[in-house]
Amino acid sequence: MKSRVSFYCAGPCVGILLLAVFSCQQAVDLPPTATSATMTLSIVDGLSAYALSAATLATELDSISLTVTGEGMDTITQTIDPGTSQVALEVPEGPARNFRIDVAVKPTSPHAVSAIRGTAIADIQAGVAQTVPISFAITKAKILVPDMVNGKVVMMADLNGAGLQVKNLGDEGISPALPYDVEIDSAGRIYVCTYDTDNQQGDIFRYDSMIDTTPEDVLGTNFNHSMDTPAIAIDRTNNYLYHVKNITVGPTYWALYRKSLVNPLANDEVIISESDPELKFTEGTCGVAIDADGFVYIYNNGDQNLIKFDPNGTVGSRGIASVSYTALGLSSARLWDLMFLDGNLYVSLSYGMQALQTEILRLGTGLSVDSVLHYGSYSADPGVGQFAFPERFASDLTGRVVLVDENPNNSSVNRLVGFDDINGTNWQEYSGSYPFQFFSN
């Protein structure tokens, strides 16, 4: 009797992650009384053109670990050298065997992903050919921030500056090279939006990694590029790119667009705009956030409110929740950026370099006033727990709150800071030597 078990990627990230396929390539003879299945796991090339090749696994991956658990069996754990091409594994037969593969990427890798995890549940029967799909997802990404004044995007594995890599947009012919926001999709690809108010130009470019020198123009030639692009956000579950646009030639016009990443040839949809009868967008935003259910959060500095809505709902009844700045106790403040972490919405709050309400807020998904927590205070020369002008958040996939804080009136204050939660736990500042200028210095 022969037993064969093979593994393959499934789900929304099929073939576009750094580690793509584990497959059983060897059938083994088992007697009729066998109580386990023996398999050979073979690490093969990724299924996409920009995934790691088999030749680079050893140089770009730190480790691969495999864990198998299930009722009535001892836990199987195995560390796999990234340079190993095959590994043998014997799994006791039984129902609901849980397979987990954890992959750690080296800080020096040019890919934005730090870690991915593959999971599967399968009933194992000795002597029976089986195929077990494993769904992979990014569990951690590197820190990516725009350094607009320098025309660069900067990536590092942590705030100590491990694996620091710098991309100069001008080297790829992007002009003006003014990165304003950076995002990561479910495949670990990097999206950079440019924002040029002086020349009314804005665009979005996608890179497979930091060494990719041929970025893709995500919006394409059919989209009106004569608009600023101050914010982008990615729904990694449903594979949508959201982008804010601002037209300031003639009447000012703000709009939030949505683009399918699955069907890139489809036209961008206008989700909300100034003419929306329900979710009127009178003055723009630098921040958009998407929660785990695909609901959109965006603020409106014109009408002074923060809203949550269903982008797939019926026009006129898409609004789910909203809260005014006044209800939040923000009499004079302006919001800057939004991000989700651990199921909560974080907001960077700045008030034009004055000692008024310069802090970080955390709200629940219902935007209830009772859920609001505050952290930080203003200082022109900030220290721990203080901010001069908190602005852009790094990706939520870093697993921490990481954001830009600068003082436009003091070029010595250009900080990248991070902490674990709204209490400022494990506060840390970037300690490397890269000379950030961010947005104003």
Percent of the chain with pLDDT strictly greater than 90: 47
- Rounded to 5 degrees, what are φ and ψ at 172? -95, 10
Please report, as a single letter, which amino acid is at residue 101. Answer: I
Question: In degrees, to the nearest 5, what angle opens at C-alpha 167 toward C-alphas 397 and 404?
Answer: 50
* pLDDT in the model for residue 323: 93
b/e code 19-55 from CB counts within 10 Å (16+ = b): bbbbbbeeebebeeebebbbbbbbbbebebeebbeee
Nearest to 393 by CA among 337, 319, 329, 326: 337
The total of other beta-carbon atoms located within 10 Å of residue 187's CB is 24
What number is the average pLDDT over the span 216-235?
78
Positive or negative CA dihedral for 40, 46, 51, 52?
positive
* pLDDT in the model for residue 19: 31
pLDDT digits (tens, 9 = 90+) for 318-355: 999 999 988 988 766 678 999 999 999 999 987 644 44
Nearest to 353 by CA among 303, 402, 304, 387: 387
Question: In degrees, to the nearest 5, what angle opens at C-alpha 274 toward C-alphas 260 and 352?
Answer: 100
* pLDDT in the model for residue 330: 79
Distance (Å, whole) CA 393 – CA 374: 16
Nearest to 320 by CA among 337, 298, 336: 298
How are beta strands 386-387 and 377-378 bridged, if at all?
Answer: parallel
Lowest mean pLDDT among 235-244, 311-320, 427-436: 311-320
**Six-digit token string for 420:** 């674990």
Pick the CATH number of 143-429 from 1.10.10.10, 2.120.10.30, 3.40.50.1260, 1.10.443.10: 2.120.10.30
Is the distance from CB of 92 to CB of 99 less than 8 angstroms?
no
Nearest to 26 by CA among 44, 2, 47, 43: 2
pLDDT digits (tens, 9 = 90+) for 110-148: 999 999 888 888 888 887 766 677 777 889 999 999 999
Q: Tokens 């979710």 correspond to what residue?
A: 279
Please determine, for residue 159, whether its predicted confidence score (pLDDT) is greater than 70. Answer: yes
Higher pLDDT, 56 or 285: 285
Higher pLDDT, 275 or 98: 98
Please determine, for residue 258, whether its predicted confidence score (pLDDT) is greater than 70. Answer: yes
pLDDT digits (tens, 9 = 90+) for 195-208: 876 665 678 999 99
b/e code 377-403 from CB counts within 10 Å (16+ = b): ebeeebeebbbbbbbbbbbbbbbbbbb
pLDDT digits (tens, 9 = 90+) for 276-291: 777 766 666 788 999 9
Confidence of residue 162 (pLDDT cuts 50, 70, 90): very high
- Between the ranges 206-215, 264-273, 343-352, where is the mean pLDDT highest? 206-215
Is the distance from CB of 100 to CB of 118 less than 8 angstroms?
yes
Please determine, for residue 41, whether its predicted confidence score (pLDDT) is greater than 60. Answer: no
The alpha carbon of 239 is separated from its chain's Cα centroid by a whole number of angstroms, namely: 12
Is the distance from CB of 343 to CB of 365 less than 8 angstroms?
yes
Percent of the chain with pLDDT strictly greater than 70: 78
pLDDT digits (tens, 9 = 90+) for 1-35: 333 444 444 433 322 223 333 333 333 333 444 57
Is the distance from CB of 120 to CB of 99 less than 8 angstroms?
yes
Where are the domains positioned within the chain? 2-138, 143-429
> What are the beta bridge partners of residue 155?
144, 165
Please report, as a single letter, which amino acid is at residue 310. Answer: D
Question: In degrees, to the nearest 5, what angle opens at C-alpha 415 toward C-alphas 409 and 417?
Answer: 140
SS3 state at 280: coil
CATH no. for 2-138: 2.60.40
b/e code 112-142 from CB counts within 10 Å (16+ = b): bbbbbbbebebebebbeebebebebebebbb
pLDDT digits (tens, 9 = 90+) for 377-425: 989 899 999 999 999 999 999 999 999 999 888 888 999 999 999 999 9
- Rounded to 5 degrees, what are φ and ψ at 398? -70, -20
Q: Which helix (H) or strand (E) holds 153?
A: strand 152-156
* pLDDT in the model for residue 7: 44
**In the predicted model, what is the mean pLDDT of the chain?**
81
